[in-house]
Amino acid sequence: MPRYLTLVHIDEQNLPAEAPDPGFDQRMGELFEEITRAGVMQETAGLAPTAEGTRLTWSGGKVGYTDGPFTESKEVVGGYSITRCADKAEALEWAKRFLEVHPASWQVSVEVREIAEG
């Protein structure tokens, strides 16, 4: 079965001011429990803010280093998951369910890409 990388995109400059509703953690926990029981979830994590990161670039035969935050980036990767799904349709369904757990007032997007193996 193919593996898929789901990148969770957020706008670090406009994070929600309000905390999620009281049931958010429970809904997310239930979804993660379900996806793990189904044998789909391989790995997942949130990422530290870009202020704690460093970007390396290759240009003109030299490596350049830029410390965060990366204010020129509107959207950044705030988390990821690796899933093993029967097909892309299944990977998209899990990603859709992940988004639906979030409060309606939040802006979150995900990008689902198959991992090229072998």
At 16 the pLDDT is 82
Which residue did the predictor score with more confidence, 110 or 16?
Answer: 110
pLDDT confidence of 12, banded at 50, 70, 90?
confident
Report yes or no: 6 and 72 within 8 Å, Cβ to Cβ. Answer: no
pLDDT of 71 strictly over 80: no
For range 94-99, the mean pLDDT:
97
Q: How many domains does the chain have?
A: 1
Whether the per-residue pLDDT at 70 is higher than 90: the answer is no
For the segment 36-65, the average pLDDT, to the nearest whole number, is: 95
- In tens, the pLDDT along 21-34 reads 889 999 999 999 99
| pTM passes above 0.95 | no
pLDDT at 33: 96
Cα–Cα distances in Å, from 45 out to 59, 62, 71, 81?
A: 31, 32, 22, 7
Give dist(CA 60, CA 13) in Å, integer.
31
Domain that holds residue 7: 3-114
pLDDT at 43: 96
- Asked if residues 74 and 13 have their Cβ atoms less than 8 Å apart, the reply is yes
Q: What is the pLDDT of residue 20?
A: 86
CATH of the domain at 46: 3.30.70.1060
